[in-house]
Amino acid sequence: MSRHKKSAGPIYAFALTWLFLSLFLPMYKLGGLIAVAAVSLAIGIVVGGAVRKKQRRDEPEPVKAPEPEKSYGPTVDPIVADGDRAIAEMGRLYASIKDPGIREKINELMRITDKIKQDAIADPSDVPQIKKFMNYYLPTTIKLLNSYDRMSSQGIEGDNLSKSMANIEEMLDTAIAAYKKQLDSLFADQAMDIETDIEVMNRMLAREGLAGNRDFDITARQGGTGEKN
The domain locations on the chain are 9-58, 77-190
| Alpha-carbon gap, residue 43 to 48, rounded angstroms | 8
| Alpha-carbon gap, residue 229 to 227, rounded angstroms | 6
Of 8, 6, 10, give the one whose Cα is nearest residue 44: 10
pTM: 0.58
CATH number belonging to the domain at 77-190, selected among 2.60.40, 2.40.100, 1.20.5, 1.10.540: 1.20.5
Which amino acid, residue 205?
L
Predicted pLDDT at 196: 76
Of 94, 87, 85, give the one whose Cα is nearest residue 148: 94
Which amino acid, residue 96?
S
Higher pLDDT, 159 or 184: 184
Predicted pLDDT at 19: 58
Of 60, 113, 66, 112, give the one whose Cα is nearest residue 86: 113
Of 4, 9, 7, 5, give the one whose Cα is nearest residue 44: 9
Predicted pLDDT at 219: 45
| Alpha-carbon gap, residue 173 to 109, rounded angstroms | 10
